[in-house]
Amino acid sequence: MNVAAAQTSQPVRPPIRQRFEPRTRRRFANWSVNLVLSAAVFAWLAPMAWMFTAAFNPTAQLSFDVPTPPSLDNFASVATVDQLFRPLMNSTIISVLASLITVATACLCAYPLSRYTLRFGRLFMYLILIGSGLPIIALMIPTYRLFARYQLTDSYWSTSLFLAATSLPFAIWLAKNFIDGVPLELEEAARIDGATQWQTITRIVMPLIKPGITVIFIFSFIANWGNFFVPFILFSDPAKQTASVAIYNYFNSLGGVYFGRVAAFALLYSAPAVILFTIISRTLGRSLSFAGGVKG
């Protein structure tokens, strides 16, 4: 650290104490922290390890066992329309549909909230923030009952709309913050140059909040992709079940025989979420800086 500074501030101390004892102590502290962190890595990887070994082991049981040699048999036997592709397709349809609805309605809703002083604007933002904290899970029974009553269960559209509505509060809040970040001066400049309101929004605001829109889309996509409870309740038709529900059903029905296949499925199902998260974590850092947009 600041050895020079430490020496000038404490000139009375014998130099030997300064030079050796803190260093060995620091080295000891350093290594014990490294040890604790390695233990943490182990604790986090241990429950995960089984899924990776089991996926490549056609005779996998619940115990951890390194397959020799690793084989792709599980992937091959799980790769059928009924087992793998249809559930993944269902998850994709619902997640994309719901996330698109969320992004579109959230951005539309956030623009007036950001740009105009609305009489109820602040109250609306308060309600949105409170809404983003409500336990959505508590809405599932009445929603199921309403859906069952109006024949809306087993429908991609109604489930997507429900998922979109539940992630809307947070999305609106995010979108408003992103639009707030676009300097009003840019819009004014465009208007002076003769752009219409619509042109201003599509040519100025939209391109500038594109990273923000991507963030909202990916966030809600990951949330919808991973959602288990909503499709579990709202879909009863096996042909419509999503990957999350399919994994649960496999594990409980044929898990005892084919643990390896379930693990292989889980790996394939997790991959999109992990990849998208990696993308988003890179974008997130840059997305909030619009400073470059305004000059002089």
Partner 1 sequence: MTTTPSSPPGPVLEAASSFTHPTTSRPFNGVRRSSKWVIPMAPAIVLLSVFVVVPIGYSIYISFTNTRLTGVEARNPSWIGFDNFRRLIDSGDLTNSVVLTLIFVVCSALIGQNLLGLTLALMLERRNKFLRGLVVVSVLSAYVLPEIVPGFMWTSFLAPDGAANQLFNLVGLPDQQILIDNPMVAVVGADIWRATAFSMLIYTAALGDIDRELIDAARVDGASYFRTLWHVKLPLLRHTVFTTLMLITLPTLSVFTMIFALTGGGPGDRSETLPLLMYNQAFRLQELSYGTAISLVLLLIGGLLSVGYVLTLRPERTHR
Structure tokens at 265: 């499925």
* Nearest distance, CB of residue 24 and partner 1, angstroms: 15
Of 20, 28, 64, 157, the residue at the interface with partner 1 (CB under 8 A) is 64
Q: Does 36 engage in binding with partner 1 (CB under 8 A)?
A: yes
Token pair recorded at residue 238: 């096996």
Residues 98-127 that bind partner 1 (CB under 8 A): 101, 104-106, 108-109, 111-118, 122, 125-126
Give the nearer residue to partner 1 in terms of CB position, either 116 or 286.
116
Return the residue matching tokens 């752009």. Answer: 195
Return the structure tokens found at 99: 């996330």
Q: Count residues binding partner 1 (CB under 8 A).
A: 106
Find the binder of partner 1 among 56, 170, 178, 225 (CB under 8 A). 225
Which is closer to partner 1, CB of 72 or CB of 141? 141
What one-letter code names the amino acid at 162?
Answer: F
Tokens linked to 165? 């509505």
59 makes contact with partner 1 (CB under 8 A): no
Nearest C-alpha neighbor of 130 from the set 163, 174, 173, 179? 173
Question: Does 202 help bind partner 1 (rule: CB under 8 A)?
Answer: no
- The position carrying tokens 């579109």 is 104
Specify the residue, 117 or 151, whose C-beta has the smaller distance to partner 1.
117
Chosen residue from 93, 100, 206, 233 binding partner 1 by CB under 8 A: 233
In angstroms, rounded to a whole number, what is the distance separating the alpha carbons of residues 203 and 35? 54
Q: What is the spatial distance between Cα 98 and Cα 93, in angstroms, rounded to a whole number? A: 8
- Residues 245 to 284 in contact with partner 1, rule: CB under 8 A: 247-248, 251, 259, 262, 266, 269-270, 273-274, 277
| Rounded CA separation 87/148 (Å) | 22
Is 2 a binder of partner 1 (CB under 8 A)? Answer: yes
DSSP 292: G
